[in-house]
C-alpha cells in the first residue's frame, strides 16, 4: 500500500472510490446508499486508511461526553420508551444523558439549549413543541418528530407510510367505510403526515372515509359526539377506525364498548405507536409500530458524528403493523400472518 | 435583634428553642416532629438568622449541581413515573439529572457510584437490586426500596401498611378466603414487607389465606397452575386475591377471565403501585397507590441536605387505596367512598 504523505481526506476517498463527495459522506454517516456504492467507499476508506473524525476531533473543544434529552415527560409510554432507548444508545457509547422532563415548559427547554451553546453538554436530542425555541446555528441539536430549522436534522417514523399502512390493513380486513380520529398539536410536525398517508391509502384502496380532527386542548368528548352522531339504529356507520395514537385508540375502544359496538366484530380499530401494556406485555390494540430503537440509534448517530458534510434535514424510519386484538385479520379476502 | 458576633450554629438554635439538637436537625431536614417543636425551632432559626447549610457549603468542594438516577429502565410504568417525579423534583431546585437505565447491569451501576465518589456528580439516587454494589462510606447516596448499608438512607412506601390495607379492603368488600401472589427479588427489600402486612391484616380480620411466592426468573405459568389447582367444579376457592404489583394483577386478571372467573363478581383483585393506563388514564386495577411525588421529594431532600446530623435509615411514606374496577365496593357490610 502506498504511504500517504498527509492524512487522506474525504475528497481522496471520493476520488479513489470514483463516487461523489456526498456519497462518501452518506456512507460515513450511516445513511442509505446503493450497496455497490457502499462497498466501493468502504474499500477506498480501508485502502487509504482514512480516519473518520480524526481532524474534527482534534479541533473540537474539550468534550463533556454528556448529551441532554428534552422530552415532555417520562410518564406517557411513548415518551418513556423513547427516553429508555436513547439512554441505552448513549450509555453503550459511554456517553452520559441528562434527562430534562420539560412538561412543555419553554423556559426550561431554552435553558438546556443555552447549555449546549456554552459547551456544557455536547449536544441535545429534543422532542419539543415549543414554537419559540431559539436554536443558534451550529448548536448540536437533533430533533424528533418536528423540524426545528435549517441544519437541524429531524428524525421520525415514516408517518405518511404508517397512515397509508393503516388504511391498507383496514381494507385487507374487509372494511369499506372508515374514519380517522386525530388530536394533537396544530404546529407543523411529522405525526401530522399520518392523516395524508391514511387519505392516500383510502383513495388507492377505494375506502370511503371521514375525518374528525381536534387540536390540543379540545375535549375528548368531541370524539364521543362524533361517534354517537354516526350511530343509526344502534349501528355505527364505520366498520373501521384509525386513531392517531394508541392512547386515543384505547379511549375510543372504551367509548365504543359503552355505545354497544363490538371491537373488532362491528368496528375494527388501529392505533399508532406500538404501545404495550406495562411496557413489555401485549400490544394495547392493533397498531402501527414506531421503530423506537432505530429512532434512538439514528438520533445519537447524527448527533455524535463530527464531520458531517451533508446534514440530512429529515430521516424517516420504517414502521410495521402489529396485531393487537382490535382487528379481524381473517375477515377480509386476504389473510395476513403478521405477529 | 441582637447582632451575633459569629454565625449561629445548630446548637445555638437548639438552646434558643429549648429543644434537643436532634429536634433542630429534624426540622431543618424536613422530618416529622410535633407541631409545637416545629414552631419553636422555626422561631429560633428566624430570631438568630441561622443560615442552613452556610458552613457546609463553604467547605464543600465545587459542586456539579448534577445528580445521577440509577433505575432499571424507564419502560415499566412504575420506574418511568418514579424517574419523572425525581427529575421534576431536581429540576425545580435547578439540579440536573443524569439518567442511567441500568437494565440490572452491575458494572454500569458501579461506574456511576464511582463518579459520585470522584465528585463528578453530587450524589446518587438509586433503585438497584445489585447485591455486590460497593458504596464507600460518605458517598452521597439515597436508596429506593432497598437498604444499601449503614448511613445510606432508604426511601420507600409503607409497604407493610399497604399489604395490611389490601387485606382490610378485601375483608370490607366481603371476602372470606383470599390469596397472596408474589414474584420478585429474594434479596431483602422493602416491597417484601407487603406479604407480612397482608398476613397481619388477614389475621386481624379473620380472613383465611394462602400464599404463592415465586422468585425472579420463575415462570408466570406457576401462578396459572396455582389458580387452576384451586378451581373445583368451575369455582375458584378464593374470593379475593392480592397481587404484589399491578403488573402481576393485570396478568392474573387476564388468566382469571380465561378460566371463566368473573372479576370482581367471582373474585376481587387488588394490585400494588397505583399504575394508570398510559400514565394518566384510569387505574389498571383496584390498587394500593405508592406516593411517587412524595417519594421523589424525600429522596431529593435527603440527598441535597448538607448538615444532616442524624441520617434516617429508613423513611416509609403513606400509601392509599384506589378503586380500579376489580373490587366490589358495595358488596361488603361496609361501604367505602374512596375515589
How high is the pLDDT of residue B264?
98
From the list B230, B220, B226, the residue with the least C-alpha distance to B250 is B220
- In eight-state DSSP terms, residue A93 is T
Where is pLDDT greater, at A147 or B53? A147
- In eight-state DSSP terms, residue A191 is G
B247 CB within 8 Å of a chain A CB: yes
Identify the burial level of B294 via C-beta atoms within 10 angstroms of its C-beta, where 0-12 means exposed, 13-18 middle and 19 or more buried.
middle
Residue A334 phi, psi (nearest 5): -100, 150
A59 in a structural domain: no
How high is the pLDDT of residue A49?
78
How high is the pLDDT of residue B55?
34
Are the C-beta atoms of residues B226 and B254 closer than 8 Å to each other?
no
Q: Are residues B163 and B285 in the same domain?
A: yes
From the list B51, B137, B171, the residue with the least C-alpha distance to B311 is B137
Digit-coded pLDDT (tens) for A89-126: 999 999 999 999 998 888 889 988 988 888 889 999 99
**How many domains does chain B fold into?**
3
Question: What is the arithmetic mean of pLDDT over A49-55?
Answer: 57
> Does B278 sit within 8 Å of A77, measured CB to CB?
yes
Q: Are residues B313 and B324 in the same domain?
A: no
Chain A residues with CB under 8 Å of B280 CB are 75-76
Scan residues 268-327 of A and list those with Cβ closer than 8 Å to B.
275, 277-281
A61 in a structural domain: no
Residue A3 has pLDDT above 70, yes or no: no
Contacts of B65 (CB under 8 A, 6+ apart): B94, B95, B96, B122
CA terminus-to-terminus distance, chain A: 51
Q: What percent of chain A has pLDDT over 70?
A: 90
How high is the pLDDT of residue B332?
44
Chain B residues with CB under 8 Å of A279 CB are 73, 75-77, 80
CA B108/CA B104 separation, integer angstroms: 8
Tell me the nearest-neighbour CA distance from A307 into chain B, angstroms. Answer: 27
Consecutive 10-residue runs of chain B (339 residues): their mean pLDDT?
A: 59 88 76 83 85 44 87 97 98 95 89 86 94 86 92 94 98 98 93 96 98 95 98 97 98 98 98 97 98 97 79 92 94 44
Q: What is the CATH number of the domain that holds B87?
A: 3.40.50.2300
How high is the pLDDT of residue A309?
65
Q: Are residues B80 and B150 in the same domain?
A: yes
How high is the pLDDT of residue B30?
63
How high is the pLDDT of residue B33?
82
Report H helices in B118-191: 159-172
Cα separations in angstroms, B293 against B156, B242, B316: 12, 24, 13
Q: Are residues A97 and A123 in the same domain?
A: yes
Q: What three-state secondary structure class fits B280?
A: coil
- Pick from A74, A76, A279: CB nearest B83: A74
How high is the pLDDT of residue A59?
37
Kindly identify which residue of chain A lies nearest to residue B68, measuring between CA atoms. A98
CA A172/CA B174 separation, integer angstroms: 49
How high is the pLDDT of residue A316?
96
Strand spans (E) along B177-257: 177-184, 208-215, 231-232, 235-236, 240-243
> Does A103 sit within 8 Å of B87, measured CB to CB?
no
Q: What is the CATH number of the domain that holds A21?
A: 1.10.260.40
Q: Are residues B204 and B278 in the same domain?
A: yes
CA A284/CA B277 separation, integer angstroms: 10
Q: Are residues B131 and B95 in the same domain?
A: yes
- In eight-state DSSP terms, residue A212 is E
Chain A residues with CB under 8 Å of B74 CB are 74, 80-81, 83-84, 87
- The residue assigned the cell 445528580 is B67
Torsion region of B317: left, alpha or beta (phi above 0 gives left; psi -120 to 50 gives alpha)? beta
ipTM reported for the complex, 2 dp: 0.76
Q: Are residues A147 and A111 in the same domain?
A: yes
- Parent domain of A106: 66-157+294-304+306-317
Cα separations in angstroms, A106 against A117, A128, B96: 17, 9, 17
Q: Are residues A236 and A177 in the same domain?
A: yes
B243 in a structural domain: yes
Q: Are residues A171 and A80 in the same domain?
A: no
**B168-B172-B174-B180 Cα dihedral, nearest 10 degrees:** -20
Pairing of β B287-289 and β B320-322: antiparallel
Q: Are residues A195 and A267 in the same domain?
A: yes
Tell me the nearest-neighbour CA distance from A272 into chain B, angstroms. Answer: 13
B107 CB within 8 Å of a chain A CB: no
Q: Are residues B241 and B276 in the same domain?
A: yes
Are the C-beta atoms of residues B172 and B148 closer than 8 Å to each other?
no
**B252-A275-A264-B261 Cα dihedral, nearest 10 degrees:** 10
B73 CB within 8 Å of a chain A CB: yes
Are the C-beta atoms of residues B124 and B70 closer than 8 Å to each other?
yes
**A53-A56-A57-A63 Cα dihedral, nearest 10 degrees:** -120
Residue A146 CA to its chain's centroid (Å):
9
Digit-coded pLDDT (tens) for A154-208: 999 999 999 999 999 999 999 999 999 999 998 999 999 999 999 999 999 999 9
Identify the burial level of B15 via C-beta atoms within 10 angstroms of its C-beta, where 0-12 means exposed, 13-18 middle and 19 or more buried.
middle
B312 in a structural domain: yes
Q: Are residues A102 and A219 in the same domain?
A: no
Q: How many CB pairs under 8 A join A and B?
A: 99
Residue A318 has pLDDT above 90, yes or no: yes
Assign A335 a pLDDT band (cuts: 50, 70, 90): very low
Pairing of β B96-101 and β B66-71: parallel
Mean pLDDT, chain A, whole residue set: 89
B255 in a structural domain: yes
A261 in a structural domain: yes
- Pick from A66, A83, A108: CB nearest B74: A83
Q: What is the DSSP string of B94-137?
A: T-EEEEEE-TT-HHHHHHHHHHHHTTSSSEEEE----TT----T
B60 in a structural domain: no
CA A15/CA B243 separation, integer angstroms: 66
A255 CB within 8 Å of a chain B CB: no
From the list B318, B316, B26, B311, the residue with the least C-alpha distance to B149 is B311
How high is the pLDDT of residue A12?
87
How high is the pLDDT of residue B144?
98
B5 in a structural domain: no
CA B307/CA B82 separation, integer angstroms: 26
- Report pTM: 0.79
Amino acid at each position: 500500500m502506498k504511504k500517504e504523505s498527509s492524512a487522506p481526506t474525504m475528497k481522496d476517498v471520493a476520488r479513489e472510490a470514483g463516487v461523489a463527495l456526498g456519497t462518501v459522506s452518506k456512507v460515513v454517516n450511516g445513511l442509505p446508499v446503493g450497496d455497490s456504492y457502499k462497498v466501493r467507499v468502504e474499500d477506498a476508506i480501508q485502502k487509504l486508511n482514512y480516519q473518520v473524525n480524526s481532524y474534527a476531533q482534534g479541533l473540537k473543544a474539550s468534550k463533556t461526553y454528556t448529551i441532554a434529552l428534552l422530552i415532555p415527560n417520562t410518564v406517557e409510554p411513548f415518551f418513556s420508551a423513547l427516553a429508555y432507548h436513547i439512554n441505552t444508545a448513549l450509555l453503550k457509547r459511554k456517553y452520559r444523558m441528562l434527562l430534562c422532563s420539560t412538561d412543555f415548559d419553554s423556559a426550561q427547554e431554552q435553558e438546556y439549549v443555552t447549555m449546549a451553546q456554552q459547551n456544557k453538554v455536547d449536544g441535545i436530542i429534543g422532542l419539543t413543541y415549543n414554537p419559540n425555541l431559539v436554536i443558534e446555528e451550529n448548536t448540536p441539536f437533533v430533533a424528533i418528530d418536528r423540524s426545528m430549522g435549517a441544519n437541524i436534522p429531524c428524525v421520525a417514523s415514516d408517518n405518511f407510510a404508517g397512515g397509508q399502512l393503516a388504511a391498507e390493513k383496514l381494507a385487507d380486513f374487509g372494511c369499506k367505510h372508515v374514519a380517522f380520529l386525530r388530536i394533537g398539536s396544530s404546529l407543523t410536525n411529522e405525526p401530522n403526515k399520518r392523516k395524508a398517508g391514511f387519505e392516500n391509502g383510502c383513495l388507492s384502496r377505494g375506502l370511503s372515509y371521514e375525518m374528525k380532527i381536534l387540536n390540543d386542548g379540545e375535549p375528548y368528548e368531541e370524539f364521543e359526539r362524533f361517534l354517537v352522531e354516526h350511530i343509526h339504529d344502534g349501528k355505527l356507520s364505520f366498520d373501521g377506525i384509525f386513531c392517531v395514537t394508541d392512547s386515543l385508540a384505547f379511549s375510543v375502544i372504551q367509548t365504543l364498548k359503552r355505545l354497544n359496538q363490538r371491537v373488532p366484530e362491528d368496528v375494527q380499530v388501529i392505533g399508532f405507536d406500538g404501545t404495550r401494556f406495562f411496557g413489555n406485555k401485549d400490544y394495547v390494540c392493533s397498531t402501527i409500530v414506531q421503530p423506537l430503537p432505530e429512532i434512538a440509534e439514528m438520533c445519537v448517530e447524527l448527533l455524535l458524528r463530527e464531520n458531517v458534510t451533508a446534514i440530512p434535514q429529515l430521516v424517516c424510519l420504517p414502521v410495521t403493523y402489529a396485531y393487537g386484538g382490535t382487528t379481524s385479520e381473517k375477515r377480509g379476502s386476504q389473510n395476513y400472518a403478521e405477529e
